[in-house]
Amino acid sequence: MENWLIKRAKMSPNQLGLVFNDTCWTFKELETDATQLATAITSQSPTLQRVAVLGRNHADFYLLLLALHLLQVEVVVLNNRLTAGEIAQQLTIATPDCVIVDPLFHDKLKDCSCPVLDLTKLRQITTEGLTYTQKPLELDNVATIMFTSGTTGVPKGVKQTYQNHFSSATGSALNVGMTPDDKWLLTVPLFHISGYSMMMKSLIYGNTVYLVEKFNPTLICQLIKEASITHISLVPTMLTALLKVPDFAENKDSLRCVLLGGAPLTVAQLEEAHALDLPIIQSFGMTETASQVIALNARDAKRKIGSSGQPLFPVELQIEDPNEDGIGEILIKAPNVSPGYINAEMIKTTDGFLKTGDLGYLDEEGFLYVVGRKKELIISGGENIYPLRVENALLTTSQVKEVAVTGEPDEYWGEIVTAYIVLHPGLSFDKELIKQEIDGLVAHYKQPKRYYVIDELPRNSLGKLVKRKLPEMVEK
């Protein structure tokens, strides 16, 4: 198969492919610059098979990813928000031939034992008279390796093939609708699957990517209006910040799709977004599924508040061993499911369904409702308690701004429900008032027995809650 960047440059040479700050690239210009960078990389390391990259949302990093796509090497995409020790651990697992780094992050490679190439210096190499060897694109080849967020333990390196990325892009396009005239605002990190997948979609569908380095809600709001942005991907914390921008309601009219992922939205957040008639598309996906596999269309959003939606067209969904409430483990089978990890066994059923580790149920119309991680299920006095339901109840109270619910070991009950809460500014903690406000929303045995008031919840770079770090917040 022809390389996707080369094919897109032939099909849409003059179409805008990338806009970063005040600089624009057509697809032909992207191919030219990526070819130069691919040639420079080859001149320094001619026999690469697996390359790790450490960068940020910047045109140079975007071009690097395209250059490595041209070279058909396996790309280990590293999270720039990790510590030097965490990055060293992932490099030990991935064993790349080299690391290409944005000079901003050189210090994070102090424990790196493999060769390091400076991205800025690579961009400055004169490549006149030099070439690189083009290789055919094989759909079964590994394109990227991304590490899971590690919210419940040690991160695992997920292999993502070109077939995974292609199937993800086509499934998403069938759901949200895409044309070459669309303008997708890339605000989430390129080192996450949600950001990387937008680059792949752009190559496959020929739409323009507007890349921003940092999320600034005021500037994002202005860019939506000025550039007539049609699509944007956000996590809930980003949406909350955008909704607080005074003129956001007046600037949003060009938006056809606000794709949400990374973490569940609260009912209050959804209702606020619906009040502005935002075209919200909630989604459920994983690094292991090369982005979303379940999505809730805007047309169903108001009547199915709280649902993650229905499977995308190529996706099969099952609930394994549902209990009396219909809740069981979510199983996924699709062409965009990863073939496996590089450092662990991927758990699949005998008929090929991925065991996601998430719990949920289907309503009578086949809409999925996620109730939490299987590992986070609280069993207290023999009763199953789902943290997400307790969290949603607590978020309706007058004091609680943010909350995370976990189970703490207890000699008598086995586990007790424990809530870590962030209060609204200026309010004091009143346990009895909270109890009064959630009575009737959750049964008494599901209500927290213990509360910790903390300044903020620990989150990863995509805004996803990292519950295993909650005890550290109390110690602070």
Residue that is written with structure tokens 């939205």 in the block = 265
Does the pLDDT at position 94 exceed 90?
Answer: yes
The answer on 133 and 172 residing in a single domain is: no
Say what the pTM is.
Answer: 0.88
Q: Is-contact 269 257, C-beta < 8 A?
A: no
**Average pLDDT for residues 231-241, to the nearest whole number?**
90
- Output the pLDDT for position 174: 87
Assigned domain for 154 exists: no
Does the pLDDT at position 44 exceed 60?
Answer: yes
**Average pLDDT for residues 325-347, to the nearest whole number?**
95
Q: Which has the minimum average pLDDT: 111-115, 174-178, 209-213, 387-391?
A: 174-178
Assigned domain for 158 exists: no
Computed over every residue of the chain, the mean pLDDT equals 93
**Average pLDDT for residues 42-56, to the nearest whole number?**
96
Assigned domain for 332 exists: yes
Task: Give the up-direction half-sphere exposure of residue 293: CA atoms within 13 A in the CB hemisphere.
Answer: 26
The answer on 312 and 340 residing in a single domain is: yes
Q: Domain range for residue 60?
A: 4-137
Does the pLDDT at position 263 exceed 90?
Answer: no
- Output the pLDDT for position 177: 83
Assigned domain for 155 exists: no
C-alpha to C-alpha distance for 149 and 377, rounded to whole angstroms: 19
**Average pLDDT for residues 76-86, to the nearest whole number?**
92
- Output the pLDDT for position 373: 87
The answer on 176 and 278 residing in a single domain is: yes
**pLDDT confidence band for 354 (50 / 70 / 90):** very high
In Å, the largest CA–CA distance within the chain is 76
The answer on 409 and 303 residing in a single domain is: no
**Higher-confidence residue: 85 or 206?**
206
- Output the pLDDT for position 342: 96
Does the pLDDT at position 431 exceed 70?
Answer: yes
- Which of 341, 373, 405 lies at the terminal end of a domain, its last residue? 373
Task: Give the up-direction half-sphere exposure of residue 250: CA atoms within 13 A in the CB hemisphere.
Answer: 5
Does the pLDDT at position 151 exceed 60?
Answer: no
- Output the pLDDT for position 272: 86
Residue that is written with structure tokens 């130069």 in the block = 36
The answer on 309 and 217 residing in a single domain is: yes
Q: Is-contact 59 18, C-beta < 8 A?
A: yes
The answer on 335 and 398 residing in a single domain is: no
Q: What's the CATH number where 45 sits?
A: 3.40.50.980
Q: Is-contact 330 317, C-beta < 8 A?
A: yes
**Average pLDDT for residues 77-83, to the nearest whole number?**
93
Neighbours of 454 (CB within 10 A): 17
**pLDDT confidence band for 475 (50 / 70 / 90):** low
The answer on 446 and 300 residing in a single domain is: no
Query: Comparing C-alpha atoms, which of 113, 52, 108, 60 is closest to residue 80?
Result: 108
The DSSP bridge partners found for residue 274 are none
Q: Which has the minimum average pLDDT: 15-29, 65-79, 266-280, 436-450?
A: 266-280
Q: Which has the minimum average pLDDT: 161-170, 236-245, 261-270, 343-352?
A: 261-270
**Average pLDDT for residues 332-352, to the nearest whole number?**
95
Query: Comparing C-alpha atoms, which of 345, 334, 350, 266 is closest to residue 305?
Result: 266
Q: What's the CATH number where 322 sits?
A: 3.40.50.12780
Residue that is written with structure tokens 């690189």 in the block = 132
Q: What's the CATH number where 430 sits?
A: 3.30.300.30
Assigned domain for 159 exists: no
**pLDDT confidence band for 273 (50 / 70 / 90):** confident
Assigned domain for 96 exists: yes
The answer on 126 and 71 residing in a single domain is: yes
**Average pLDDT for residues 233-256, to the nearest whole number?**
92
Does the pLDDT at position 410 exceed 60?
Answer: yes
Q: Is-contact 288 333, C-beta < 8 A?
A: no
Does the pLDDT at position 476 exceed 70?
Answer: no
Does the pLDDT at position 17 exceed 90?
Answer: yes
- Output the pLDDT for position 363: 97
Does the pLDDT at position 265 exceed 90?
Answer: no
- Which of 85, 118, 137 lies at the terminal end of a domain, its last residue? 137
Assigned domain for 260 exists: yes
Assigned domain for 182 exists: yes
The answer on 364 and 386 residing in a single domain is: no
The answer on 352 and 334 residing in a single domain is: yes
Q: Which has the minimum average pLDDT: 149-163, 202-216, 361-375?
A: 149-163
* Percent residues over pLDDT 90 in the chain: 77
**pLDDT confidence band for 152 (50 / 70 / 90):** low
Indicate the number of domains in the chain.
Answer: 3
pLDDT in tens, 445-466: 999 999 999 999 998 877 788 8
Return the H-helix or E-strand segment holding 359.
strand 354-362
Query: Comparing C-alpha atoms, which of 41, 68, 328, 80 is closest to residue 192?
Result: 80
The answer on 391 and 359 residing in a single domain is: no
- Output the pLDDT for position 129: 87
Q: Which two tokens stand for residue 228?
A: 């007539």
The DSSP bridge partners found for residue 118 are 101
* Percent residues over pLDDT 70 in the chain: 98
The answer on 356 and 260 residing in a single domain is: yes
- Which of 351, 373, 395 lies at the terminal end of a domain, its last residue? 373
- Output the pLDDT for position 302: 81
The DSSP bridge partners found for residue 402 are 422
